[in-house]
């Protein structure tokens, strides 16, 4: 279990709590309950954080519906949530760079720092990763949590706690742009205008991409993408047989410019096939979304054009850059926060219903 907390039968006195700490627990399919959440003792390099802003991710909704994602199975009640920011209430004896009252954004994954991946700088691939709301590790939709201080990043004046919570989804876009080599000479195609596709759009712009096209089946989401600065927003179908015609329309929408990098933020056979066909010879396709575990795609065509295919898993060392993007104004995530809720049983249930419904809901945020 990660630092976030212990089961509800742990001793409250160990955490020095004055009030009962409450959290949103996933207890069964489609069932969330606000119940007590007992915190572990504060270690010398930990901080206790009062949560102020927590966003709902698609993975949270998936766990609620299915009680599992791939081989991660919820076998016992688990606190949900991992996109978060808050205010430090207490610091461990060894913490020198943070103090009570600091506003911080939290990176949700605790790696071992001993394995070859961690030592090689790719700690996001750690086999012993303890990640908020990934079973059996508890998440952060709670009044308070305990977390390692080195994974809490101080927010500058002018960057809100809601924006701090948005560093988590923005980190996915930043890591994808790094892996794909997005820069000032890179024309980018983004497959999917959901929350991750939209933060990928913002990240690509911040990395200097001069032209960005985005495609989706939903016209409302495409309208949001246009408002965020997409050069082209193309509505497509879910039919695989339409891919060739849609690639022609995507290229035409960019004025005939070659697509150097494609970011597939949906992860379906159709979207990946379109990305592979649309990307120029010698270009790169980055798999970001994970809609399907298995896909059938035209790899031979991509291979003879030397189109590189890379994947991402979460992110690494992204919070400082995300915070700088927010501070400088290079990225504005505020338009993505479409719905806000408090932290009552009724509001938690309603918030997840809104997030699962989609449509006009992009990012649903709890204000605790």
| Tens digit of pLDDT at every position of the chain (368 positions) | 345 554 444 333 334 445 799 999 999 999 999 999 999 999 999 999 999 999 999 999 999 999 999 889 999 999 999 999 999 999 999 999 999 999 999 999 999 999 999 999 999 999 999 999 999 999 999 999 999 999 999 999 999 999 999 999 999 999 999 999 999 999 999 999 999 999 999 999 999 999 999 999 999 999 999 999 999 999 999 999 999 999 999 999 999 999 999 999 999 999 999 999 999 999 999 999 987 778 888 899 999 999 999 999 999 999 999 999 999 999 999 999 999 999 999 999 999 999 999 879 999 999 99
Cis-peptide into 136, omega within 30 deg: yes
Tell me the domain boundaries of the chain.
Answer: 20-153+332-365, 172-309
Name every residue whose Cβ is closer than 8 Å to that of residue 251 and which is 6 or more positions away in sequence: 257, 259, 278
d(C-alpha 168, C-alpha 265), whole Å: 15
CATH number of the domain located at residue range(s) 172-309 in this protein: 3.40.50.720
Q: Would you tell me which CATH number, out of the four given (3.40.50.720, 3.40.1180.10, 3.90.180.10, 1.20.210.10), belongs to the domain 20-153+332-365? A: 3.90.180.10
Query: What is residue 291's predicted lDDT score, i.e. its pLDDT?
Result: 78
Residue 284: both structure tokens together: 């790169």
Instruction: Measure the N-to-C terminal CA separation of the chain; round to a whole number of Å.
Output: 24
Q: Residue 233 and residue 265: Cα distance in Å, rounded?
A: 15
Each residue's pLDDT tens digit, 238-255: 999 999 999 999 999 999
How far apart (Å, rounded) are the C-alpha atoms in residues 77 and 363? 25
- pLDDT above 70 as % of the chain: 95
CB neighbour class for 63 (10 Å; exposed up to 12, middle 13-18, buried from 19) = buried
pLDDT on residue 13: 37
According to the model, what pLDDT value does residue 292 have? 78
Domains 20-153+332-365 and 172-309 share a fold: no
């Amino acid at each position: 279990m990660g630092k976030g907390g212990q089961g509800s039968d742990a001793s409250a006195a160990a955490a020095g709590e004055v009030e009962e700490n409450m959290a949103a627990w996933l207890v069964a399919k489609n069932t969330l309950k606000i119940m007590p959440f007992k915190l572990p003792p504060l270690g010398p390099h930990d901080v206790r954080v009062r949560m102020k802003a927590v966003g709902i991710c698609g993975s949270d909704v998936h766990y609620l519906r299915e009680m599992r994602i791939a081989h991660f199975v919820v076998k016992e009640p688990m606190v949900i949530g991992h996109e978060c920011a808050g205010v430090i209430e207490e610091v461990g004896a060894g913490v020198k760079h943070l103090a009570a009252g600091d506003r911080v954004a939290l990176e949700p994954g605790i790696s071992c720092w001993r394995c070859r991946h961690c030592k090689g700088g790719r700690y996001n691939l750690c086999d012993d990763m303890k990640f908020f709301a990934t079973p059996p590790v508890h998440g952060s939709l709670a009044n308070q949590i305990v977390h390692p201080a080195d994974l809490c990043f101080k927010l500058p004046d002018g960057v809100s706690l809601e924006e701090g919570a948005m560093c988590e989804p923005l980190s996915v876009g930043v890591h994808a742009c790094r892996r794909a080599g997005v820069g000032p000479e890179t024309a980018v195609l983004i497959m999917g205008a959901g929350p991750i596709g939209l933060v990928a759009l913002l990240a690509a712009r911040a990395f200097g991409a001069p032209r960005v096209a985005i495609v989706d089946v939903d016209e409302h989401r495409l309208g949001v993408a246009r408002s965020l600065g997409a050069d082209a927003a193309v509505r497509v179908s879910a039919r695989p047989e339409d891919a060739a015609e849609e690639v022609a329309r995507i290229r035409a929408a960019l004025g005939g410019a070659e697509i150097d990098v494609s970011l597939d933020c949906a992860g379906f056979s159709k979207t990946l096939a379109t990305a592979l066909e649309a990307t120029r010879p010698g270009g790169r396709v980055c798999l970001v979304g994970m809609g399907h575990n298995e896909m059938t795609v035209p790899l031979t065509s991509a291979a003879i054009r030397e189109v590189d295919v890379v994947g991402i898993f979460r992110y690494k060392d992204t919070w400082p850059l995300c915070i700088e993007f927010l501070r400088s104004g290079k990225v504005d995530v505020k338009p993505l926060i479409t719905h806000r809720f408090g932290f009552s049983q009724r509001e938690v249930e309603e918030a997840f219903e809104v997030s699962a419904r989609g449509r006009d809901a992009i990012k649903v945020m709890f204000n605790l």
